Amino acid sequence: MASPIKALNTNHLTPHEAISDPLIRNALGIDTNNKTLMTSAFTPDAVQDMTALAFLDSHFGTTHGRDAIVSMASSTVGRMDTTHMLSNFRTSISDNGFTGTVTCYALAQHWRPGQGRSFAFESRFLMGNQYEGEVVRDESEGQGVWRLRKLVIRTMWTEGDFGVFDPASWG
C-alpha cells in the first residue's frame, strides 16, 4: 500500500535530522512500498552495497543506480509485511555543507505478504543491521534535500526463517 506521506518536506528539519532523513524516507518507502518515497532518498547514480548479506543468499550484492535500487526493493521486500525501525543516528557534515555521512542501527522485521498482522505465530525473519550512508545535498529543486549517494548495509545478527523472502512460499 502506497503511503500518503509526501516525499519531500524537509525545510523544518535540523541539519542532523535532514541528513538522517534519506534513510528514514527509504525505510518508510520500503515498509509502505512507496516508490516515490524510496526514489526521493537516493541520487540518480546511487550505489547500494549489500554484499555483507551474501551469507544469507548469494544474490545480495551491489546495486548501481537509483532506478535499479528502487525496482529491486519494491519488487521484493516492498511487497512483504515489514517494519524497519531506525535508531542511534550519527551524522557528520563537510565544511562545504554539501556532503556528509550518516550511520544508524536498523531492526528489520519481515513477514510474508499478509502474515504480519496475524495473531498466530507465523514464520518471520528479523535482522539487526547497521546502515552507513554517504549523503549529498541536492539543491536542484530549491529545497536543499539530502539524498544517499551510497548506502552500505551490514548485518550484525539474524533470527528466524529466511524463507519468508521466497516469493514461491507466499501462496
In angstroms, the CA 11 to CA 17 distance is: 10
pLDDT band at 151 (very low <50, low <70, confident <90, very high): very high
Phi, psi of 157 (to 5 degrees): -160, 160
The enclosing domain of 98 has a CATH number of: 3.10.450.50
Is the pLDDT at 133 greater than 60? The verdict is yes
21 burial level (CB within 10 Å; 0-12, 13-18, 19+)? buried
| Structural domain of 62 | 15-169
Q: Is residue 25 part of a domain?
A: yes
Q: Is residue 9 part of a domain?
A: no
Could you report the per-residue pLDDT of 98-108, keeping only the tens digit for each?
999 999 999 99
- Percent of the chain whose pLDDT exceeds 70: 93
Could you report the per-residue pLDDT of 157-168, keeping only the tens digit for each?
999 999 999 889
Could you report the per-residue pLDDT of 67-93, keeping only the tens digit for each?
999 999 999 899 999 999 999 999 999
In angstroms, the CA 69 to CA 14 distance is: 27
SS3 for 108-123 is: EEEECCCCCCCCCCCC
Q: Is residue 126 part of a domain?
A: yes
Q: Averaged over 119-138, what is the pLDDT?
A: 91
Q: Is residue 5 part of a domain?
A: no
pLDDT band at 1 (very low <50, low <70, confident <90, very high): very low
Place of cell 551490514: 154
Q: Is residue 102 part of a domain?
A: yes
Q: Is residue 10 part of a domain?
A: no
Query: Longest C-alpha distance within the chain, in Å?
Result: 53
DSSP string, 82-147: EEEEEEEEEEEE-TTSSEEEEEEEEEEEEE-TT-TT-SS---EEEEEEEEEEEEEEE-TTSS-EEE
Q: Is residue 3 part of a domain?
A: no
Q: Is residue 1 part of a domain?
A: no
**In degrees, to the nearest 5, what angle opens at C-alpha 133 toward C-alphas 17 and 35?**
80
Cell of 20: 538522517
Total domain count for the chain?
Answer: 1
Identify the weakest region by mean pLDDT among 32-36, 108-112, 141-145: 141-145
Residue 49, H or E segment = strand 42-49
Could you report the per-residue pLDDT of 20-64, keeping only the tens digit for each?
999 999 999 999 999 999 999 999 999 999 998 888 876 778 999
Phi, psi of 26 (to 5 degrees): -65, -45
